[in-house]
Amino acid sequence: MNKFNVVLTEHAVGDLKGIAKDLRGKIHQDLMALERNPFPYGNFIKRLKGFRPTVLRMRSGDFRVLYHIEGEVVTILRLIDRKELDRVIKRLKI
């Protein structure tokens, strides 16, 4: 099985630092799962419409992980509280 490289953007690193330590563990596990399979099945992954390259949204507790895939690199764009997701998606520039 291919192993993908997960890379966080500066925004994602800043978002992660702003999340409470007790919640970071779950998010970290979900990010590590993307290394094994960035295309998991289930209703916790959705493809966002209107973005090129394709942007995917993964649910991780009350947070949403926005990412895209190029070759074997999974780029984490943002780690957003679900309450702020719509506002952030409108400002997201790729």
Mean pLDDT of 2-24: 92
Calpha distance 64→66 (Å, rounded): 6
Q: What is the pTM of this model?
A: 0.87
Q: Domain limits at 21? A: 5-91
Q: How many domains is the chain built from?
A: 1
Calpha distance 7→10 (Å, rounded): 10
Phi/psi-derived region of residue 42, left when phi > 0, alpha when psi is between -120 and 50, beta in every other case: left
Question: What pLDDT score does 94 carry?
Answer: 61
More confident residue, 42 or 1: 42
16-53 tens-digit pLDDT = 999 999 899 999 999 998 998 887 777 788 888 888 88
Tell me the CATH number at 47. Answer: 3.30.2310.20
